[in-house]
Structure formats: C-alpha cells, structure tokens
Chain A
Amino acid sequence: MTDTASSSGGIRPDALVRPADPASDLEKAALKGRPKVSLLGLGMLSPAAVLLLVFFFAPVVLTTIFSFTNMTSATGISGGAYVLSPNLLRELERSGVDSDTLAALGTESVVVDQESIAAARAAGVEEDFLEEIEDDLLGVDFDSKQDFERALKDLPSHLRRTRDLKLAADHFLVSALNTRFATRAEASDAISALAPDIAPGTRDRILDASYTGWVWTTENFRRLATQPETLRLVLNTFFYVAVTLAFNVLVGLFLAITVFYLPKGTGMVFSVLWLLPRITPVVLYAIMWKWFTWDGGFVASFADLVGLPSFNYMKGSVPTAWTIVILVNGCIGASFGMILFSGALRSIPMQQLWASEVDGASRWQQVRYIILPQMRWPILFVTCYQSMSLLSSYEQIWLTTNGGPGNTTMVWALESFRTALSNYTGNLQYGQGAAMALVLVIVGLVLSIIFLRMFRFGELVEKPKIEF
C-alpha cells in the first residue's frame, strides 16, 4: 500500500480530476484486444435497446418527418382527400383559372332519367318509391338538391327515414362539389367528366389545389428563421435555463454542504424537506405555488403586512413572474443537485477534513480548498444534466404562468407544445411544432456532445483507477 492510498482510503485523490495517467501494461493489453461479444450481454442489453428505439429514436424520426410537412389540424395527419368546394373554385378564379372551366366544375344538377333510376334500383332503393319517381318526376328540372328532396317527400311511398331519403336522392345528383375523392385519379376522372376540354396543366393545378392533406415543405424552418418571435423565445429560453441552472447548482451545493456539516439527524430532516418539491406530483406542486403566490395568497398577504405591494406575484409583473418560474423549477432542480452533491461529499475522505482541522482550517477554507476541488465532476454533471433537462422542460411553466403575463415567460419548449398540441383556438400546427421540437433535439444533441467532451466521458468508461 502506498502513502497516497493510506491517506485516501484506496482512491487516488487526483484520479477524479486529472487526465488518465499512462495506463499500466496490463490495461494497455486489455484495451488492444478486441472486446468479446457475449450473447448474454446482448440479451441483457436488448430491452434497453428496444426502449431506446421506441421511446427515443421513433419519436425523433417522426418529429423529423413531421417537421418537413405543413401538417395542421386542418390537413390532418393520416392523409387527405381531393375536394372541389365552392371556396376552392372562388380561390382558383382569383388565381386566374378559366371561369368557364370552373363553372363546369361547379355545376350541380338533378337528372331524373332512366339511367339514374336504374342506378338507384341497383343500389337497392325501394321499387314502389322508384316507380313513383318514374311516374311523377321523370324529366323534371330542379333548381337545387333541396327542391328535389322536397319533391321526393311529396311522393306517397317516400322513404320515411331522412338519411335513406337523402341517400336515394344522391343517385340523381350530378355534381362533384364537396365530394371527397380518396385518390387523385378519381378526382381527375370527375373533373374530366365535367369539363372534358380542360387542359392537362389546368387540371393538375386544380387537383393540386383541391388536396386537403399535408405536403412536404421546408417552410417551417424558414419561418422560424425569419419571424421576430424566434429571437424573443431564444432569449427567454436562454435566460430561463441559465438562471434556473445557476440556482439549481448553487442552492444544491449549498444545501449539500450545509447538510454535510449538520448533525446527522438534523441533516436528514433538512434533506427530506428539500426533497419534497421533487417527490410531490407536479400538478399538486404547481397548485401549491399558485396558492402561495396568488392574490390573497401567503406572499401577497405577507407583502401587504410589511407594506410592500400586494398583488398576484405569479402573474402580476414580469420580474415576479420570472422569479416564480425560476423558483418553481429551481427548487426541484436544487433537490436533485443536493442528492448528487451529498453523495459526492460522502466520498471525500474524512481524513482530509480532520487533517485540515488539525492545521486550523476554517469551514470556509475546508469548502474552498478541499470540498469544491473534489466536487468538480459532480458539479459538471449536474450542470450538464440540468441544462438539458431545463431546455426541454415546460410543464411547470405551463401549469403556473403558462408563459404569461402576456407571453413574457414563454420558452421554446412550451411554445413548441402549444403550437403543435394545445392552444385555445384549436389551430394545432403539427408540422410547425415538430420543427420547433426538432430544433430543440438538435440543440440538445450538440450540447450533449459538447458536454461529453467537457465531461471526458471516455475516461469515465475506462478501467477504474482504484488501487487494491
């Protein structure tokens, strides 16, 4: 056993902070050899691989696909149809399509002839009813579908159920208006039937415009790059992540060190108290903050008592709203930091602290010269992990300020969620929201790579530097 080992309980104190020393011959030999592929190992890994595939890769792939589309609640997700509607015909007329062609496509007429009666008969419409139609309505002109339906209702044997009557009437209606054609070919045939002389180019243009589903586009990214709102969201998100992160790390560290120096029982009580934000269900936690900061809540009442402005601190002003948002998230993150830092603190050899006390070091000097240097990696880890976590978190903001007052505490992740999935008007822009989410994934991946390099992940997965 070396001197170092005797003073540090078997762990080289520099192992955590210093780049790896040249490995021993044995280690080098092990590194040179090809790793053995173990079926058992692969079997053990496969559940994790499946989970990764289903819950990470699949959503990322889908997000990527969605982000290059113009999907909205109006286009739907699962595909569209081809519909010639009156609005579309007006729109095409404004864009210069020949009005005669459009008039032909907008034709809606009722034809009662032997052919349409035969079609109705083939579809199973009752014979008595059809005979009455043939006797009374054959060759009669009708101004509209409604007029024809009214005439049908006057027939003695008319179908009593409204839906049956309307289905029967459809056999006599000649119109492509508002019909949802499932395929382009069907729509094309209908257009050709109504306007036989239509130019192929015009027909294609009409078909393109009549499609109700989504199409591929890069417009979402162009919009993100050009709209002024993007910059504000980026700045908001940067501010939120940076300040909350600082709160998480500093308060977590402070709590861990404080608890470390407290008597064990007292320290335990404080640890449990600070864990409450993390273990409380997020909705309940948010509601408690609302009660705490709302008009007439504890903060407002206390402020009133001491002569400060009494108002809704959560939504009543921009600075207080940000303060609450940061505290709500910060308290959760701080408890996470506290757990990690506490664990790391316990691994610091007590002998170093005893020795420093013998040398007359104050608590601050112990923290500054013994504890903090050995906490570098845990701090780095919490910083990396929390920054990623904060970047994609929105639920606490959604449940508290919901981005208010007036969008001032809106962050990228929440805006992405609102754009794609939840807003008052129901204008769900799946494609645009996915593009925003994809930007977040890319930023997260880039940050991960940077953090892993900072973290020197390679060293972490090397052989342990523990001497036995």
Chain B
Amino acid sequence: MTTMKRKITVAMAAALLSATAVAAQAEDYTITVWSGGTGDTSHYRVDAIEMAADLLEREAAVRGEELNITVEKQVWSGWDDFKQAVTLAAESGTAPNIIVTGHEDIGPWAQAGILRPVEDYVDFDVWPLNQLYDNLVEVSSYDGQIWGIPQDAESRPFFMSRAHLAEIGYSEDEIDALPSQIEAGEYTLYDMLEDAEAMQDAGVVEAGMAFAPRVSNGPDYWQFYQSFGGEMVDPESGQLIFDRQALTDMYQFFVDAAEMGVVPATYLGGDWDEWHRNVAAGSYGMWHGGTWHKSQWENQFELTDFFDKIAFSLIPAGNENGRANTITHPLVYLISATGTDDEAAIAAELITIASEPRINSLHAVESGHLAIGEAQASVPLYANDRWSTEATEALLPHANAIPNNADFGAYWDAMYQGLEAAWTGTSSVEDAVNMAQAQVEADLGDGIIIR
C-alpha cells in the first residue's frame, strides 16, 4: 500500500468513525400523549407537550447534543372510551408514554402497575415544579408517592341568571350579595328551589327549565353530597365514607326538585349541546357547571356579556349539616410504565416543561381553567383575564378534590346509580340509598365506613 493510499484510508476511516460518533450522540425518541375529555378549547393539553419537546431539543442543542423528539398526540372528547383505551392499551403493552387524565385514575392505575411514580423522574424542588400549588401536588399523590404533575385546575360553580332573578324581584345589589350569602350558608339549595319555582310561576322560564344540573355523571354530584354534610373520605384513616344521612338528603333534594317541576324526573342522560345552547340562550334560571364551560359558551354557543348576564357562586349548602362548597377536579400528566426508562425520563422532562407558567396559562385562559401554580398570577395573559382571576379568588380557596383511592370508582358508580334510581322515581329515596349501600358493601367490604 502506498503512503498516499494509506493516508486516504486513514482519513476515510477517521471520517467514518467521526460520523458514527455523531450518529451515536443523536438521540431519537417518539413520545405518545393521550388525553381524555379534550375539546376544541383544551388542545393545549397535548400541544403543550409539543412545545415542551421543541424547548427540550433546543436545550440539548445548546449543550451540544442532538435530541430529536417526535410527539404523537391523540385526544378523546369524552372519558368512557378514553379510559377503556388506556387500560386496554396498558394491558397489551402499547399505552402512551404520557397520559392526561383525571387524578382519580391514579389510585387504580398505580395499583395495576400501569404508571411510574413521577417523583422518581422529576425534581419538585426546582423550577417550574417548585411553584405548583401544594394542594394540587397532593391531589396528584397516592399512597405515599407523587404520581403525576397537575395539568390544570378548575372548580365547579353554581350559576344564576341575573335577568331571571331580577324578574322575580331581586335587586342588582341583592343579586350581587347572593354569592356571599351562599358562602355563609344563608341561602341554601332549598332557597334556590323556591326561587326556581318562582321563576316558573312568573313565566320567565319554561316548565322544567328553572334548575338545570349537570346532564350526566360527573364529580359535580359529589358537591351536593357535601352540601348535605357528606364526607367522601376519612382524613385520619384514608378510608372512604358512606354517609347515609347525607346521601338520603342529597337524593331527596333532587326528588323534591323534580316534584316541584323545576327539573324533569327524566333529566339525567340529556344532551350536552342542548344544555349549552339553553345556557347561552338564557333559558335556564339556575344551573351548575365548570369554570371551563364559560369559554365553551362564549366560543361555541355565542354567549356574550357573561358577567352582565350570569352570577356565580359556590354550590349552596343543603341544610345545617352541610356547607357551601365546590369540587376541583384537576387533570394530571401521568407517565406510563410502557416503554423504556429513558423514554419515561424524556416524557417526564416534557411534562415538567409543559408546566411552565407561560405554557400552562395558554391552556388555562383559553379553556377557562385555573392556574396550577403561584407564578401564573404574574403571567400577564392569566393575570389580565377577569374570569380566571375572579374564579380563582372566589372559588378555589373553598375547593376540595375527590379522593385518590383505588376503590372510589366503585363507590362513585353506586352513588350515581342510586341518584338515577331516586331521581327518576324508579326507587324510593330510602331504597336507592339501601341499594347504593348494599353495592358498596359488596364491592368494598371493610374498605368503606358506613355511617
């Protein structure tokens, strides 16, 4: 071999080796993210992951590393199909790397081994996780470990039509004072029913339209259980609580409402779009929903001048045993057990970056959700949004969450089935409560305290 040939060979080998070295440094990841309950205004739940991937790639480039992340997004508008898809995909080893779901799924999914505890991958002492609200981090925890990062927060207010209240004799000042009266327990759910009935009697709303609760199952109905003094979980032992009296009073309230004719006995299972249309058209007198509904009413159902038309408050107390309350049902970013540990680490970095106040504020303001961390109050987009700030101040301090407990789903199913049975008149209130009790006793045994 001549010297020249040898030089060329060495140069080629060097070039090949250096190319290999660069290729070895480049890291390619495909991260999948699935989100339930996601509509047109809440696309940032998954889009934030894409933004985070872009940032993470840039940070790697600054360090001189090549990192390529492909984010594959999939959203479901409802929950039933989404939860079915996640659980079955997990069983077949094809679950997404990142799951965006309600915090109540942490219990059963952690037990089933579907999830990795996020605390093993991220540092809650550093930015941006160190500015998250403590209670939301607590909601994302289960059985001594932090499993998720809060994705959003909300509350579920009670709404009142200012126009219809005025039509039955309320002055503007009296309407403005109602939220405080509700908070103090001076205006109860039964006072509300009387006003609803008055609206119907005065002909300002159609029969059966004066009170419009949520049309389908949801955490909202636990608020009424709390309004009558019910507690979902014993803070000492962590055991679930089935409060017969509170459940009886709650069922009776909806039965009474149906008997008064302010809500139909066959109301449950109605159509959401129709409900939104009626709210936006001012057809209802009183109703309850979520903070995020405001953006839906404005963007999809052409509601204007929200604050002039609608008053909002906590869910009123039902009787002297209960309290005015609201439930927050934060969604959380979870890391699945599917995939390699490196993929999980990248996914964890992505959800950490997605929790940056600026990025999360895009979601919060567009979808009508509340902040997940203190620093968002300093983000102009969030701070200048009247609904976000007012709802945060008026509602969030009183909000509690449904418990993270692997057995809570069974209790929830029983509660709602009993409510349906009583409300429709299929069973008496007493039988419905007995049926729910029998069901939770059969399902949970000693895992629930009956009182």
Binding site for B on A (CB under 8 A): 72-78, 80-81, 83, 85-87, 90-91, 94-95, 146, 149-150, 153, 161-163, 166, 177-178, 180, 212, 219, 223, 226-229, 232, 294-295, 312, 315-318, 321, 401-408, 421-429
Contact = CB atoms under 8 A, between A and B. Distances in A.
B413 A405 contact: no
Query: Most chain-A CB neighbours within 10 Å: which of B269, B413, B420?
Result: B269
B266 A74 contact: no
Given A401-B269, A406-B421, 8 more contacts: A178-B143, A180-B113, A226-B442, A228-B435, A232-B426, A317-B266, A405-B424, A423-B80
B121 interface: yes
Interface stretch (B46-54, B66-74, B83-91, B158-166): B83-91
B413 A427 contact: yes
Contacts of A404: 266, 268-269, 420
A229 B435 contact: yes
Contacts of A83: 111
Nearest to A81: B113
Is chain B's interface secondary structure helix, strand, loop, or mixed overall? Answer: helix
Contacts of A90: 237-238
Given A76-B113, A163-B120, A426 B79 contact: yes
B123 interface: yes
Contact of B109 (A73, A149, A163, A232): A73
Interface residues of B, number: 66
7 contacts: A74-B407, A78-B91, A91-B447, A162-B121, A316-B264, A422-B80, A426-B101
A318 B269 contact: no
A229 B417 contact: yes
A108 to B, nearest CB: 9
A422 B269 CA distance: 16
B112 interface: yes
Contacts of B421: 406-407
Interface of B: 79-81, 83-84, 87, 90-91, 101, 104-105, 107-109, 111-114, 117, 120-123, 125, 143-145, 216-218, 237-238, 264-271, 274, 341, 344-345, 348, 406-410, 412-413, 416-417, 420-421, 423-424, 426, 431, 435, 438-439, 442, 446-447
B426 A178 contact: no
A73 B218 contact: no
A318 B424 contact: yes
Contacts of B217: 424-425
Nearest 3 pairs between A and B by C-beta?
A: A427-B409, A404-B269, A406-B424
A402 B413 contact: no
A81 B270 CA distance: 42
A180 B114 CA distance: 12
Nearest to B124: A146
A428 B112 contact: no
Contacts of A223: 442
Given A294-B271, A428-B87, A318 B112 contact: no
A298 B226 CA distance: 41
A96 to B, nearest CB: 12
A95 B269 CA distance: 41
A232 B426 CA distance: 10
B143 A85 contact: yes
Contacts of B123: 149, 162
B216 A424 contact: yes
Given A73-B112, A77-B91, A229-B435, A163 B348 contact: yes
Given A87-B238, A316-B264, A426-B409, A162 B216 contact: no
B296 to A, nearest CB: 19
A422 B84 contact: yes
Given A86-B144, A315-B266, A426-B83, A75 B412 contact: no
Contact of B107 (A74, A75, A321): A74
A86 B121 contact: no
Given A74-B406, A229-B417, A407-B426, A163 B121 contact: yes
